[in-house]
């Protein structure tokens, strides 16, 4: 029997292999007369959105579909991994639809950081990346910070139209939508569907009180993140859970910092300077002389320099070296998905190393 089965909730093709993929249902449920995927099942019965990821092609098709809708796009990024979670092409796909930019996980930034300053930074960076957002909001979906404000903004900008929430995996999109479900809907049937032109995919949505709906679009996997090279047990070290405590290093040229075995930062040239490291609090930082750094890494990756530990170090791709001549004070050197090091002084030359495939770049300091 080759007939494809479809979820009665969202229309996705039912499959029983990939738990995180679209249309997943446990094999036992195929016996039933009407089949509903696990994601719709959870939404219907527990009013809870579950994360789901897509291939790049499917995601592009969905993005294309967005341009043909009339609604408000809510784009979620992770403030801790802003560039890595950005979704570069989005603004070209959304057509005339307004985009509300929401930066999640603000609880990870040090409490001393002024939110207005971060919002201004986000506006500037978004613009530089080609997006003219109608507004920018900072939230912590997890802690509930800023949620009332963002819900109000959604109401204002959607103008009775549908809402489409987009973001790459792990930005906290499900946590965000689950908050909205809790605040915006009561009991009762939660699922609505909307067909996306050019895809076989129907979106599942949460009804809003005027007949419009808020749609959860599947998250795209971001291939540039460190996360892909780590074991699940080690991932918990690199993803910060709590407010980051920045660590300041006063360095002379000729000194090197290692972040586990995951990144290396050489101070090559310049006056004595301060470098502020913004990474998960539990990640070990090791300081050494630049002239000893190669040898240390060769002999101690996986033990003294960990994570990854010896059991997983072979999975880590080789380091690629990126040299930067930094002209302006307060410049972040970003290791995609891991964090960043703020160079506090002007006119220094540094080299940043990260596993092949992980992006490294500089930007004006976020905080």
Q: In this complex, which beta carbon is closest to ligand GDP, that of residue 107 or of residue 202? A: 107
For 327, counting Cβ atoms within 10 Å of its Cβ (0-12 exposed, 13-18 middle, 19+ buried), the class is: exposed
Smallest distance, Å, CB 117 to ligand GDP?
Answer: 19
Smallest distance, Å, CB 220 to ligand GDP?
Answer: 10
CA–CA gap between residue 346 and residue 119 (Å, rounded): 24
Q: In this complex, which beta carbon is closest to ligand GDP, that of residue 34 or of residue 112? A: 112
Among 170, 225, 288, 336, binds ligand GDP (CB under 6 A): 170
CA–CA gap between residue 80 and residue 120 (Å, rounded): 16
- Decide if 242 contacts 196 (C-beta within 8 A): no
Among 174, 256, 331, 336, binds ligand GDP (CB under 6 A): 174
The CA-based dihedral angle spanning residues 22, 28, 33, 34, taken in that order and rounded to the nearest 10 degrees: -20
Where in 176-235 is the site for ligand GDP (CB under 6 A)? 219
Among 167, 205, 260, 270, binds ligand GDP (CB under 6 A): 167
Site track for ligand GDP across 128-147, x = CB under 6 A:
------------xxxx----
Residues in the interface with ligand GDP (CB under 6 A) total 18
Which residue carries 């057509």 as its tokens? 95
The CA-based dihedral angle spanning residues 301, 306, 307, 310, taken in that order and rounded to the nearest 10 degrees: 50
Interface stretch with ligand GDP, choices 111-119, 146-154, 164-172, 228-236 (CB under 6 A): 164-172
Q: In this complex, which beta carbon is closest to ligand GDP, that of residue 97 or of residue 170? A: 170
260 half-sphere exposure, CB direction, 13 A CA radius:
25
Interface stretch with ligand GDP, choices 89-97, 99-107, 119-127, 151-159 (CB under 6 A): 99-107
- Decide if 200 contacts 13 (C-beta within 8 A): yes
First to last CA, the chain: 58
Among 39, 75, 105, 158, binds ligand GDP (CB under 6 A): 105
Smallest distance, Å, CB 51 to ligand GDP?
Answer: 4
Among 35, 54, 100, 108, binds ligand GDP (CB under 6 A): 108
Q: List Cβ neighbours of 18 (8 Å cut-off, separation of 6 or more).
A: 24
Q: Give me 36's structure tokens.
A: 């509903």
Interface stretch with ligand GDP, choices 171-179, 220-228, 278-286, 324-332 (CB under 6 A): 171-179
- What is the number of the residue whose Cβ is closest to ligand GDP? 172
Smallest distance, Å, CB 291 to ligand GDP?
Answer: 39
Angle between helical axes of 147-158 and 173-184 (0-180°, round to 10) = 80
Q: Kindly state whether residue 171 participates in binding ligand GDP, applying the rule CB under 6 A.
A: yes
Which residues pair with residue 215 across a beta bridge? 164, 205
Task: Say whether 177 sits in a helix, a strand or coil.
Answer: helix
Pairing of strands 202-207, 213-216: antiparallel
Smallest distance, Å, CB 141 to ligand GDP?
Answer: 4
Binding site for ligand GDP (CB under 6 A): 51, 104-105, 107-108, 140-143, 167, 169-175, 219
């Amino acid at each position: 029997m080759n007939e494809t089965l479809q979820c009665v909730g969202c229309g996705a093709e039912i499959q029983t292999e990939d738990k995180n993929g679209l249309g997943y249902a446990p094999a036992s449920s195929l016996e039933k007369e009407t089949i509903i995927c696990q994601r719709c099942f959870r939404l219907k019965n527990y009013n809870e959105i579950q994360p789901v990821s897509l291939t790049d092609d499917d995601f592009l098709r969905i993005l294309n579909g967005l341009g043909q809708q009339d609604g408000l796009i809510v784009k979620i990024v992770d403030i801790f991994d802003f560039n890595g979670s950005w979704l570069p092409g989005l603004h070209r796909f959304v057509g005339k639809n307004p985009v509300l930019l929401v930066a999640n996980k603000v609880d990870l930034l040090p409490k001393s950081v002024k939110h207005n300053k971060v919002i201004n930074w986000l506006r500037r960076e978004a613009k530089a990346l080609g997006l003219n957002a109608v507004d920018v909001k900072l939230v912590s979906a997890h802690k509930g910070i800023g949620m009332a404000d963002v819900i109000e903004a959604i109401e204002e900008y959607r103008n009775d139209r549908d809402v489409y929430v987009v973001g790459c995996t792990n930005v906290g999109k499900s946590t965000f939508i689950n908050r909205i479900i809790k605040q915006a809907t009561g009991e009762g049937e939660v699922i609505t569907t909307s067909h996306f032109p050019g895809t076989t995919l129907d979106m599942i949505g949460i009804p809003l009180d005027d007949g419009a709906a808020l749609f959860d679009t599947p998250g795209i996997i971001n291939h540039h993140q460190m996360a892909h090279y780590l074991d699940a047990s080690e991932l918990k070290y690199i993803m910060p859970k709590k407010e980051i405590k920045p660590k300041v290093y006063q360095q002379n040229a000729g000194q090197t910092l290692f972040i586990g075995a995951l990144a290396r930062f050489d101070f090559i040239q310049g006056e004595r300077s301060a470098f502020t490291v913004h990474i998960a609090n539990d990640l070990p930082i090791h300081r050494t002389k630049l002239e000893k750094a190669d040898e240390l890494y060769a002999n101690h990756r996986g033990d003294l320099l960990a994570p990854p530990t010896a059991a997983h170090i072979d999975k880590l791709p080789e380091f690629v070296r990126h040299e930067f001549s930094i002209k302006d004070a307060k410049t972040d050197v970003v290791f995609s998905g891991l964090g960043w090091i703020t160079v506090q002084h002007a006119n220094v030359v540094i080299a940043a190393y990260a596993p092949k495939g992980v992006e490294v770049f500089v930007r004006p300091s976020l905080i």
